[in-house]
A = this chain, B = another copy of it.
Amino acid sequence: MIFEENTMKTERIYEGKILNLRIDTVELPDKKYSKREIVEHPGAVAIIAITDENELVLVKQFRKAVEKILLEIPAGKLEVGEEPEECARRELLEETGFTAKEMKYLYEFYTSPGFCNEKMYLFLAKGLIKGESNPDNDEYIEVYTKKIDELYDMVINGEILDSKTIIGIYTAKMLMSNKNF
């Protein structure tokens, strides 16, 4: 039997620009108390954008949290009141310059549900038209397109280090193996 944990007390530690931190004191099934450190995040979108040449659109950027330049699928945080599809179209345009005739919601997942409520909505973008990218002031991004089989090998070889991008590549490979794609 799995019990939900009732919150007995909440301590708010930090309210920030992209995340908040709180500590919940919870009651366990045996009536003992435990602490849960929880990062609050507004949620995000990630986009599997596939060109007419059947290549996947990727962005390369420096990630301070891990001190590495990572290759990722386009993604970004939800703004207040923003719908996920609207966010997906905005982020795709800002980061890569592409607009999409078709933007289809696929599914959603939590990136780190053990301590963070970040939910990521995954979209499929097709019918891409290239324009000008317009990243945020503090974003420095390079745009690439790559064949899905090459990216699939990169996952197996441990060269893709971002979880949403691994999910995006596996999902793209699965979708493109369907002859109706």
Residues of A within 8 A of B (CB): 1-5, 7, 13-14, 16-19, 21, 23-24, 26, 28-29, 32, 34-39, 41, 44, 60-70, 72, 75, 107-120, 137-138, 140-142, 155-158, 160-164, 166-167, 170-171, 174
Contacts and interface: CB of A to CB of B under 8 A. Distances in A.
Contact of A14 (B3, B14, B110, B171): B14
A164 B163 CA distance: 7
Contact of A110 (B1, B7, B62, B162): B162
Given A108-B161, A161-B110, A140 B29 contact: yes
Number of chain copies forming the complex: 2
A108 B166 CA distance: 10
A59 B34 CA distance: 21
Given A2-B61, A34-B138, A140-B29, A158 B114 contact: no
B62 A113 contact: no
A113 B170 contact: no
Given A161-B109, A161-B110, A37 B19 contact: yes
Contact of A39 (B32, B65, B160, B166): B65
A162 B14 CA distance: 25
Nearest to A39: B39
B70 A113 contact: yes
A28 B142 contact: no
Most buried by B among A32, A65, A140: A65
